Amino acid sequence: MAASTNKEVAKELLPLIRVYKDGSVERMMDSPYVPPTLDPDPQFGVSSKDVTISQNPAISARLYLPKLAQPHQKLPVLVYFHGSAFCFESAFSFIDHRYLNILVSQSQVLAVSIEYRLAPEHLLPAAYEDCWTAFQWVASHRNRNSINHHDHDHQNHSNVINNKEPWLLNHGDFERLFIGGDSAGGNIVHNIAMKAGEDDQESLLKEGTGVRILGAFLVHPFFWGSGPVGSESDVSDNYDHKKRLEYLIWEFVYPTAPGGIDNPMINPVGSGKPSLAKLACSRMLVCVAGKDSLRDRGVLYVNAVKGSGFGGEVEFFEVKGEDHVFHITNPDSENAKKMFNRLASFLTK
C-alpha cells in the first residue's frame, strides 16, 4: 500500500476506495481473503467450499453446509449477497466468512454466498446481472436433470458451467428457498425479487423451470434518492444532499444509471416506479439499525411494500442504538446475538 503513495489519483471515494490513473484500484476497507474449510470449522461445525458458476464473466460462490443430523438431511437454501457499496469486500473475505459461519450454524441452512464483479472495474449493472445468473444457477438444482437456460438473460452469461453441485442436489430443499443480503446486498435482494416477479413463476413451475422464493431478508438495505427523507436533512443549514456518501457511492458504481439516484434499483419508492406488489417472495424481513444513516430509507421501504398490495408477509425488526451492519463487524455483541436470533427465526419459521 505504501508504494501507491507516488501514483496519481484519478478518482477516490473516501474512506472506501481510490482509483489511480494507471488503472489500479486500492480498496482501503477490504478484509483479508480466507480459504474455505471443507473439514467442519471447529468453532461452528460448518463446512465450506468454493465453486465456479461462470468463467466469463467470472462468477463464483462459497457454499456453507452445517453439521447434519442425518446423511440425507434436506435443509433450507439461502442465496446470500454480501454488501460493501458494490465496490469492495468479497464472499471470500474474513468478515463475510465469519458472518456466514455464524448464520449457517444458528439457522441450519445451506448457504450459497455469491462472489459478483465489483465496481469500478465492472460498473453496475454487472453485479445485478451476476447475482441473477447465480440465483438462476442455484435454483436450477430444483430440477435435477438440467441447468435452467430458459431465461433470456443467459444470452449475456452463456458461459454458465453446466454442472450440478452435490451439496445442493443432496441437501437443498427448494420448497424453502431464501434470498438475503446486507447493505448493498440487501439492495440486490430487492432487485432479484423484483426481477423474479417479472415472470409468471407459476406457469414456469408447471414447466419445471420456475422457482418460488419462500423468503427474502434485507438487512440495513442500501436505498437512496434525490430528496431527503426523515432525519437525512436534520444536519445543518448548509446541508447538501448530493454530497452525502450514499449519493456519491451510487454515482461512482453506476454513473450511467437511467434516472441517476432516482433509478428504481436504488430508489424503489415513489410515483412512476414499478409496483412493489411484484416482489416474488412469500415472506419478507427488513432490518434497520437506530443509528444507521440508511434507517429511514428502510422504514420508508417497509411501509411502501405494505401499502403496495404485496400479497406476502412483511416483518420489520429494528435494533436501537446500533450503526450500519454492526452485527457483521462486531458479531459477539449482545445486540448482534439478537440480530442472529431474528434472522435464524425467519429462516427456520
Active site residues: 183, 292
Query: What is the C-alpha separation between 94 and 82, in angstroms, rounded?
Result: 12
Query: What is the C-alpha separation between 78 and 68, in angstroms, rounded?
Result: 16
| Type of residue at 8 | E
List CB contacts of 152: < 8 A, sequence separation 6 or more: none
User: Which of 272, 268, 248 has its CA nearest to residue 87?
Assistant: 248
Query: What is the C-alpha separation between 168 and 8, in angstroms, rounded?
Result: 47
In sequence order, what DSSP letters do the residues of 126-177 get, joined into one string?
HHHHHHHHHHHHHHGGGSTT-----SGGGGT-TTB-----HHHHHHEEEEEE
Cell readout for 253 is: 458504481
In sequence order, what DSSP letters do the residues of 285-310 get, joined into one string?
EEEEETT-TTHHHHHHHHHHHHTTT-
User: Which of 292, 286, 255 has its CA nearest to residue 269?
Assistant: 286
Kindly report the three-state secondary structure assignment for every residue of 87-121.
CCCCCCEHHHHHHHHHHHHHHCCEEEEEECCCCCC
